[in-house]
Amino acid sequence: TLGVKQLIVAINKMDTANWSQDRFQEIVKETSTFIKKVGYNPKTVPFVPISGFHGDNMLEPSKNCSWFKGWEKETKEGKVTGDTLLKAIDSIETPKRPVDKPLRLPLQDVYKIGGIGTVPVGRIETGVLKPGMVVTFAPANVTTEVKSVEMHHEQLQEGQPGDNVGFNVKNVSVKDIRRGNVAGDSKNDPPLAAASFNAQVIVLNHPGQVGAGYAPVLDCHTAHI
């Protein structure tokens, strides 16, 4: 599932099948079998017949499929029902932001901006980032103070998980830190280099057999190894 925990199946171009209920049920059955193999529970997935070209069942229920009584899915809170793609999207459960965990921010890049200085950028995974905070970059082992935090050219009082931010740091050169480094709060479980760690590994391409001498390319967050 590549970490995707919630899924919606919109069965498009139903107008080309004359809004056939039999064809819809056939596709639901085939798709349910497939997503189950991948790791999803079909009972938690809404199936919505739509026509994107004509806008049927996108925002409002369509008169072309009177047989469709709506979708249903199971959640931790109980059953949720609806009749359009928009309602299926609205039913997505908002994940909780892990603001209570130690700061972890993998760097996507590091810029030198005239009149400002060194500005690392990246997406906050856990914790919060605030101006005045003292951060440590690992494995570079560089510690410095955050002067300001910005997102979309606006100053932030606090960056939270999911925010793509740029932050200005004191007395650090662009040569000292780089893409793939991880920033953390130096006073709250700062990131450290590790000899080993547990990971979920996804193989995207390999020669068919992995043997002695095989040299894979490893990507871990923004680090390219």
> What is the predicted pLDDT for the residue at 207?
72
What pLDDT digit, counting tens, does each position of 28-51 carry? 999 999 999 999 999 999 999 999
> What is the predicted pLDDT for the residue at 197?
86
> What is the predicted pLDDT for the residue at 212?
85
Strand partners, 31: none
Show me where the domains of the chain are located: 9-90, 105-185
From residue 23, alpha-carbon distances to 27, 29, 35, 84 in Å are 6, 10, 18, 18
Cis bond upstream, residue 139 (ω within 30): yes
> What is the predicted pLDDT for the residue at 167?
97
Pick from 124, 171, 164, 174: which is nearest to 146 by CA? Answer: 171
47-49 and 9-11 as β-strands: parallel, antiparallel, unpaired? parallel
**What is the CATH class of 9-90?**
alpha beta
pLDDT under 70 in the chain at which residues?
Answer: 1
Among the four given CATH numbers 2.40.30.10, 1.10.1040.10, 1.10.3080.10, 3.40.50.970, the one describing domain 105-185: 2.40.30.10
From residue 79, alpha-carbon distances to 4, 132, 202 in Å are 20, 46, 32
> What is the predicted pLDDT for the residue at 189?
94
> What is the predicted pLDDT for the residue at 193?
84
> What is the predicted pLDDT for the residue at 218?
83
> What is the predicted pLDDT for the residue at 7?
96
Q: Are 18 and 63 in contact (CB under 8 A)?
A: no
Type of residue found at 94: T
User: Within the chain, where are the H helices?
Assistant: 21-38, 85-90
> What is the predicted pLDDT for the residue at 210?
75
Strand partners, 72: 81
DSSP 120: E
